[in-house]
Chains A and B, each alone.
Chain A
Amino acid sequence: MKLTTTLLATAAMSLAGIASAQEMTIVSWGGAYTKSQLKAYHEPYSANTGVTIINDDSSAEAVAKLRAMNEAGNITWDVVDVVAADAIRLCDEGLAMEIDPDTQLAAAPDGTPASEDFGELLVSDCFIPQIVYSTTVGYRTDLVGDTPPTDICAIFDLEAYPGKRSLEKRAINNVEWALLCDGVAKDEVYSVLETQEGQDRALAKLDTIKDEVIWWSAGADTPQLLADGEIVMGSTYNGRLFSVIEEQNQPVAMLWDAQVFDLDGWIIPTGLSPEREARALDYIMFATDTQRLADQAKYISYGPARASSAPLVGQHADLGIDMAPHMPTDPENAKNTFLYNFEFWADYRDDIDGKFQAWLAQ
């Protein structure tokens, strides 16, 4: 309801061409994710400051759009939610401003400076992480027989788990899993992937299941395919699986094995007027403090990026279940994990994705 009102307000405002000093446009992914931010960040912030927040669900094209806005010299966004890899690219292109965590972000309640609280999750000078999410695998409990899969290599095991599976239509994550299941040690995956032979090896492994894969490009695809019984198992984001399993009660279960951690967070575009920039920074300071990050976990099963937020994670706002065991960062879930290698993919993305897409088209 609130969202609709805000959207209506946006339409009315832009029609009238009025740019009130008291509003800001925040860009995010839409759906349940934007809703969790609305509850945890936007509503309390608006209540405190009187600033109207306009939501724009354009994060998927954020980099391209920010680049176009920058070329046109008219930045209409104030704060943008992007994944870490995109934040690095925006920072590289000079499209996001650098933020000093210790002076421009709130310290933890016990006084730990933000740079230590976020720790190594601060992967770019322009990026303030918000959540840790993971890409992992969900499966239909009624289609896997008596031996439900326990590790990631079930994806490649057509004998034990025949049927279609869904994987994301890009190289990232898939090639890592392929190498892991082809016998490469976890800490050697990226050094193997740097070589031509390693890339060929990963594609050869994927080739063994190519005919049985449905390739997805939207996060909602795999949950839908699982719910329809169209696939046996498929990769997607852990929050989507939480929603299928706990909120929609589908016969689906999930694996945490070899989940690939990734980060999502805020950037502020460069080229804002000083006044808008100050407001964006003020919002960021508020929205990334310890309590706010912990609050978001009430609405969606993604782990807060601050170490100090983890103990504050409570129960789901509607279902009343404890959220901590559903966090990808929960020690029980994080026994075997992978951290998306940002530096590697910044370099190799064009090359490996080119090969991957050519392989797909064959």
Chain B
Amino acid sequence: MTDVADTGPVLAADGTPLKKSLARALRLQKTRALLLIAPLLLFVLISFIFPIGQMLWRSVENDIVSETIPLTVEALRSWDSTTGELPDETVYAAFAQDMVVAVEAKNHTKLGSRLNYEKTGISSLFRRSGRAINKWDLETDGPFKELFIDVHDGWGDIEIWRTIQTHARSVTPGYFLNAIDMQLTPDGAAAQPEDRRILIRLFVRTLIMSLIIMGSCIILGYPVAWLLANLPARKANLLMILVLLPFWTSLLVRTSAWKVMLQQQGVINDVLVWLGMVDDANRLIIINNQFGTIVAMTHILLPFMILPMYSVMQTIQPTYLRAAKSLGATNWTAFWRVYFPQSIPGIGAGSILVFILSIGYYITPEIVGGTKGVFISNRIAYHISSSLNWGLAAALGTILLVVVLGLYWCYDKIVGIDNVKLG
């Protein structure tokens, strides 16, 4: 028996090699673990990864043109738009064929709204032409060039055809160009006219204001977190409730409350006038601008800064400070050289939370931001629910996502993501 044990593999109780048996047991364990997290994994996949993938795809997808008028798109390939002449009869004949099918399926107006984002007036061009085209007989009527121009003189406008040709591609960079204040023209990418540029400005504003909000959260939150970590338990608990109380109140209620506080006939102005610090005729304008957004959002996001700071500060031993002082450090030096560096992971965690949350904030800027205090997310919401330009909304969302990931990467390089602690 000893011979076997020395030369052969180690056996488990049931006679199988121990290595195999161990692997089986581990596999079983791994499967069990996987099964346990499977619901979460599926949930994340279905509700998070999949929609994000869809959004990424939607920002470049442009099948509608080539699907609604396939023959026309094909025929337009051989048309040289730079000659300054209208497409010839083959294009119009193909277009007539496409349109008869499209009108039957009521797809022509969809295409009209899509192309209207690129050139104003196309929407009604398609809608008005639909009825007339419905009555045509493809076999006997024609030539179609004159017929189309008869129905609406827009069909005799070379710019309309150039627009259709330009946006016929089924994968388009157009939405991304729009998202950075440019546009896809027949002659390639070009800047938007000056009076329509807004998005870059909003991206920059969103970033700057998020940084300001993050900064004010740090300044206001740090002392509170320090108190929370250092007060005796009973007082600290009371303070903790005060910090958490806003958390339990609806976001909309808190935002509306700021409206009541900050408006010109509001509480703060009334008090200042009563104290004689502000003239009644010149009440302060502290809402419906950037200031209003910063105040309201700082208040709303403050707990996200305080809580991670607090949980990090709790782990800092008070003995370190005492040791520093006993070695001759002043209060300030002890704090700055000993305490503060140890609390940085908390600041880092809080800052990331607050910054990323505020970059995507929507409802608070909408209510208290006026015109100068709104973020890029308000524009995304507008394109989702009002203008229905979902391609552009998706492109804006994608850019926002990339910017956040980029900043995260920078943060990792500069501060180090291991240096972030939530407790």
Contacts and interface: CB of A to CB of B under 8 A. Distances in A.
Interface of A: 60-61, 63-64, 67, 89, 91-94, 164, 169, 200, 203, 214-215, 217, 228-230, 343, 346-351, 353-355, 357-361
B265 A230 contact: yes
Contact of B120 (A94, A351, A361): A351
Contacts of B195: 200, 203, 355, 358-359
A89 B370 CA distance: 28
Given A93-B110, A355-B195, A360-B371, 9 more contacts: A64-B384, A89-B388, A94-B107, A164-B264, A215-B370, A217-B366, A346-B123, A347-B120, A348-B120
B421 interface: no
Interface stretch (B196-204, B235-243, B403-411): B196-204
Contacts of B110: 92-94
Nearest to A344: B124
Contacts of A361: 198, 201-202, 371-372, 374
Contacts of B331: none
B342 interface: no
B264 A230 contact: yes
Contacts of A355: 195-196
Interface stretch (B87-95, B111-119, B305-313, B345-353): B111-119
Interface string B361-394: 0000010001110100001001011011100000
A358 B107 contact: no
A230 B269 CA distance: 12
A221 B124 CA distance: 33
Contacts of B389: 350
Given A353-B387, A359-B195, A361-B201, A93 B264 contact: no
Nearest to B118: A350
B77 interface: no
A229 B372 contact: no
A120 B45 CA distance: 51
Contact of B198 (A169, A203, A357): A357
B385 A61 contact: yes
Interface string B186-212: 000000000111100110000000000
Given A64-B385, A67-B388, A229 B265 contact: yes
Nearest to B114: A93
A92 B124 CA distance: 10
A151 to B, nearest CB: 26
Nearest to B181: A358
B106 interface: yes
20 contacts: A61-B385, A63-B385, A64-B388, A67-B388, A92-B109, A94-B105, A203-B195, A215-B288, A215-B370, A217-B366, A228-B263, A230-B264, A343-B124, A349-B387, A350-B120, A350-B389, A357-B198, A360-B371, A361-B202, A361-B371
A329 B110 CA distance: 34
